[in-house]
Amino acid sequence: MSAANTAPVPATVSAESPAPVGDHPFDEAIRLEPLGDRHFAGATHPEYWNQVGPFGGITAALMLQSVMQQPDRLGDPLSLTVNYAAPVREGEFRIETKLVRSNRTTQHWSMELVQGEGAGREIAISAIAVCAIRRDTWRLTEASAPPAPPPENCHRVRGRTDLPWLAHYDMRYVRGRPMHENEDSVTHLWVGDLPHRTLDFPSLAAICDVFFPRLYLRRPKFVPIGTVSLNVYFHCGAEALAANGARHVLASAHGQVVSAGFFDQQGQIWSQDHDLLATTHQIVWFKE
Amino acid sequence: MSAANTAPVPATVSAESPAPVGDHPFDEAIRLEPLGDRHFAGATHPEYWNQVGPFGGITAALMLQSVMQQPDRLGDPLSLTVNYAAPVREGEFRIETKLVRSNRTTQHWSMELVQGEGAGREIAISAIAVCAIRRDTWRLTEASAPPAPPPENCHRVRGRTDLPWLAHYDMRYVRGRPMHENEDSVTHLWVGDLPHRTLDFPSLAAICDVFFPRLYLRRPKFVPIGTVSLNVYFHCGAEALAANGARHVLASAHGQVVSAGFFDQQGQIWSQDHDLLATTHQIVWFKE
């Protein structure tokens, strides 16, 4: 989540063609080079920069990507928690991962994003994740997708042009107007990568963090904010993501409480086929 | 969360007097002996045993307690994520903690519960947490406490008597009947420690896991279940917990989706003064 004001822009940009696979700026941004010993080298990407650090969603995607790249990974992501301990500084970083435990159907990982060497070594991000083999079982979706006209009938809202990452998401708001005193913080929007890109687990993790700060929907006053902890539960397999392809997903979020310098957010990400792809929660610091 | 059927019992047990401070079985169950180097020794407690391992809530409380006991802890808990990698075996364990990063107002921790030595060393629990100094800021509670008659007017439901931990919670159901085909999974209940005990962060973390498996409220068929990951956001300071004292809290939970061998749950814990003390989420494995 990142502070950003909105301004409507023409929707024509969404007609861009999909970028060739692997050549998308998102793929460049989550590129990790194996260093051995389950460590990886990466670097911040200028196109996913926010204000004082990378877009939190790209950092979440990177932490997950460090698990996706493990040759002995079991199944697909089930759960991801990312704790933002400090801003990631511009430039190179390492992600140091550990296989905590491998069971028959679940596998547990921990990951840290590290910058600096020796006495200057600092952990900026601390994360844990679970992968799992999904099975065909009884299914029930108790939640329901929010009502929304198709994305092509919704107006694209382009955020602040000084925040590079916002240029990489096509966001079409259905409900919830930031920087206004709304009666609640409920927001629905269609969102997709720009250029278009087929959905996968890292991009879905990133999309879980595209929402405006809930605080801005109840109190129209700009203050610095920063996500402290982000949680994602994945409710689908890779084939459901591939089935959605490069089409927009419907994202919904609301907050429950603002208190003592922090506020929460919970959200859902729905496919165009009404599959609940992911649920997400975060707790966010704000400056009074 | 733990599988447990319900059977009504007389409410008289709730009239017990509070146990002397530190002498409560909960305090015994979360007792940790410092071993130096931020490591702690503990042991499973028979009174908080579930079926094949300890009650998941007592494990969450233990992981948090390993942070509470740090002499250089900054502020109070803000966020806790506990990943259950394997059942904790009966007997002794160590909790190995690491101070990931200490900032001006937030502090990041990682914790692992370990059993066995040498080649037999295994991590059963992997967790991360954030502590924070709370400040007096603008406040807003968008969520609202569910309607409920006072706890003394609600009937106590005592779960399976073969699960020891259930004897340590006074649960009075307001809405949601497990092992029935409910039209939704929404549950409200009053819950308090038995014997009565003043609420604190570890006991609040444990209470976040007392809910019946959501699956049992939609499909009345007993199957083994196990929490894979539990997340708690704390929205109050220590003084709000002390203000609630040993009175019951109002706990509410519902599920969003059951899919491919897993289901989710989200919940809220309210004080009797209508403060939202904590919000919680978990993802749970089930056997078809």
For residue range A120-161, what is the model confidence (pLDDT) as tens digits? 999 999 999 999 999 999 999 999 999 999 999 998 988 888
Query: Distance between CA A162 and CA B65 in Å, rounded?
Result: 43
B21 CB-near residues (< 8 Å, 6+ apart): B27, B198
Residue B18: the pLDDT is 58
Query: Residue A190's CB: how many other CB atoms inside 10 A?
Result: 25
Residue B180: the pLDDT is 85
Report which of A169, A184, A175 is spatially closest to residue A147, judged by C-alpha positions. Answer: A175
Residue A6: the pLDDT is 44
A273 CB-near residues (< 8 Å, 6+ apart): A243, A244
Average pLDDT for B59-67:
98
Give pLDDT tens digits for B119-163. Answer: 999 999 999 999 999 999 999 999 999 999 999 999 898 888 899
Question: What dihedral do alpha carbons B104, B61, B276, B232 form, nearest 10°?
Answer: 70
Q: Could you tell me which chain A residue has the CA closest to the CA of B186? A: A142
Contact A273, A243 (CB under 8 A): yes
Residue B254: the pLDDT is 97
pLDDT of A264 > 60? The answer is yes
Answer whether B281 sits within 8 Å of A231, measured CB to CB: yes
What's the CA angle centered on B85, arms B42 and A265, to 5 degrees?
Answer: 100
pTM recorded for the entire structure: 0.94
Q: Could you tell me which chain A residue has the CA closest to the CA of B235? A: A259
Contact A216, A178 (CB under 8 A): yes
Contacts of residue A259 in chain B, CB cutoff 8 Å?
Answer: 134, 137, 139-141, 235-236, 276
Average pLDDT for B241-252:
97
Mean pLDDT rounded to a whole number for chain A: 93
Residue B177: the pLDDT is 82
Residue B21: the pLDDT is 61
pLDDT of B239 > 60? The answer is yes
| More reliable by pLDDT, A15 or A246 | A246
- Which candidate from B86, B106, B138 shows the least CB-CB separation from A103? B86
Residue A16: the pLDDT is 47
Residue B19: the pLDDT is 58
Answer whether B100 sits within 8 Å of A123, measured CB to CB: yes
pLDDT of A3 > 80? The answer is no
Phi, psi (5° rounding) for residue B122?
A: -135, 140
Answer whether A110 sits within 8 Å of B110, measured CB to CB: yes
Query: Residue A85's CB: how many other CB atoms inside 10 A?
Result: 25
When scoring A101, A122, A268 by the number of chain B Cβ atoms within 10 A, the one with the most, hence best to mutate, is A101
Share above pLDDT 90 across residues of chain A, in percent, rounded to a whole number: 88
Annotate B155-178 with DSSP letters as a single string: -BEEE-TTSGGGGGEEEEEEE--T
Average pLDDT for A217-236:
96
Residue B225: the pLDDT is 96
Contacts of residue A261 in chain B, CB cutoff 8 Å?
Answer: 105, 132, 134-135, 137
Residue B148: the pLDDT is 97
Structure tokens at A190: 């269609």
Report which of B71, B159, B83, B70 is spatially closest to residue B125, judged by C-alpha positions. Answer: B83
Answer whether A185 sits within 8 Å of B142, measured CB to CB: yes
Structure tokens at B269: 């814990």
Structure tokens at A75: 């199944």
Contacts of residue A233 in chain B, CB cutoff 8 Å?
Answer: 229, 264, 281, 283
Residue that is written with structure tokens 């089935």 in the block: A243
What's the CA angle centered on A190, arms A185 and A193, to 5 degrees?
Answer: 120
